[in-house]
């Protein structure tokens, strides 16, 4: 039997290559085989060695080019054949990245693995848009949820718990669900004037931020048509990014690198 390879689940962060961890950058620069998601940007793929075998299992909402069980099986197969595999995932592997499923499958197959954390979209986008996710006196916590609709299922979230004016709500994969999201939050008592930021392609040169409110979100998103990937940040902290001095971060007026 050939020696088994190892699989590194590597968080590639939200897009800007400068936001890679040193460990991720080191593994990417030495990769022989890389299995990559669509969210991993061109700037990061360019850091892979030119002779690295790159397998694109890219996913977009609604178009899973390779279903998750097949990705899991592919990782097991590559490592069983002796390859050391860099499994590159957008953001952090364990935050809406299905990294848990991959790790369970690798463990079941006896493949050694390691997980390298990445900057998740919530942290990257908030920093790039000038939104402190928690802020003394305004938000004492932050919740990360997914707005992704399972096929033929209504968005099933605990609205009473989420409609908390003192806790920032970050919604991944939520742009397609703004109607049930804003409707559910308002029905559970969240003020319609609560500010919302929609951050498109956060941390990349193409980043745009739309400021809206829970009450006007559906119309604003229809007009603005955010391009993926985009993240929703809902809560009073968003107001801080609309006012100086933090607004200067969002517009790039304040920039130190
Ligand atoms: N594991 C990833 C999330 C994968 S789910 C992480 O930790 O960030 C994919 C969702 O992440 C997208 O639908 C979008 O809501 C969000 N996302 C990822 N990168 C983003 C970016 N650069 N800008 C805005 N949203 C992003």
From CA 230, how far away is CA 232, in angstroms rounded?
Answer: 7
Determine the pLDDT at residue 58.
83
Determine the pLDDT at residue 178.
96
Determine the pLDDT at residue 37.
92
Q: Which residues pair with 195 in a beta bridge?
A: 213
Distance of CA 69 from the midpoint of ligand 1 (Å): 21
CATH topology for 7-116 is: Cobalt-precorrin-4 Transmethylase; domain 1 (3.40.1010)
- Ranges of residues in the chain whose predicted pLDDT is under 70: 1-2, 59-64, 151-152, 244-257
Sheet containing 230-234: give its strands across. 141-146, 167-172, 230-234, 195-200, 208-213
Q: Write down the catalytic residue from 16, 37, 92, 164.
A: 37
Question: Backbone dihedral region of 189: left (phi > 0), alpha (psi from -120 to 50 degrees) or beta?
Answer: left
Determine the pLDDT at residue 245.
58
**Structure token digits, residue 239:** 């107001």
Q: Write down the catalytic residue from 16, 59, 89, 164.
A: 59
Determine the pLDDT at residue 246.
62
Q: Where are the domains of the chain?
A: 7-116, 121-256
Determine the pLDDT at residue 136.
97
pTM check: above 0.95: no
Distance of CA 59 from the midpoint of ligand 1 (Å): 12
Distance of CA 14 from the midpoint of ligand 1 (Å): 7
Residue 6 bears catalytic tag: no
Predicted confidence (pLDDT) per residue in 136-185, tens digit: 999 999 999 999 877 667 788 899 999 999 999 999 999 999 999 999 99
- Same fold flag, 7-116 and 121-256: no
Lining residues, ligand 1, CB within 6 Å? 14-15, 39, 89-92, 95-97, 120-121, 125, 172-173, 199, 201-203, 229-231
From CA 127, how far away is CA 4, in angstroms rounded?
Answer: 40
H/E element holding 238?
Answer: helix 238-242
What is the CATH code for 121-256? 3.30.950.10
- Judged by DSSP in three states, 209 sits in strand
H/E element holding 74?
Answer: helix 68-80
Determine the pLDDT at residue 181.
96
Residue 37 bears catalytic tag: yes
């Amino acid at each position: 039997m050939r020696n088994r390879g190892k699989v590194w689940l590597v968080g590639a962060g939200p897009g800007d290559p400068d936001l890679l961890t040193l460990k991720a950058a080191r593994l990417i620069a030495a990769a022989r085989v890389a299995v990559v998601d669509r969210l991993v940007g061109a700037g990061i793929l360019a850091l892979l060695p030119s002779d690295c075998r790159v397998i694109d299992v890219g996913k977009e909402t609604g178009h899973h080019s390779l279903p998750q069980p097949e990705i899991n099986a592919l990782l097991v197969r590559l490592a069983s054949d002796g390859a050391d595999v860099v499994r590159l995932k957008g953001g952090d592997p364990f935050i809406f990245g299905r990294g848990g499923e991959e790790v369970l499958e690798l463990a079941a197959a006896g493949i050694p693995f390691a997980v390298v954390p990445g900057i998740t979209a919530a942290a990257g986008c908030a920093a790039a848009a000038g939104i402190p996710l928690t802020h003394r006196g305004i938000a004492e916590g932050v919740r990360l949820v997914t707005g992704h609709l399972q096929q033929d299922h209504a968005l099933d979230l605990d609205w009473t718990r989420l409609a908390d004016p003192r806790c920032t709500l970050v919604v991944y994969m939520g742009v397609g669900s703004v109607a049930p999201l804003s409707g559910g939050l308002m029905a559970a008592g969240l003020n319609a004037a609560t500010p919302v930021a929609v951050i498109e392609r956060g941390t990349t040169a193409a980043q745009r931020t739309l400021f809206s409110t829970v009450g006007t979100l559906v119309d604003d998103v229809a007009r603005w048509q955010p391009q993926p990937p985009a993240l929703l940040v809902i809560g009073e902290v968003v107001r801080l990014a609309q006012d100086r001095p933090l607004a200067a971060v969002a517009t790039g007026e304040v920039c130190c690198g």
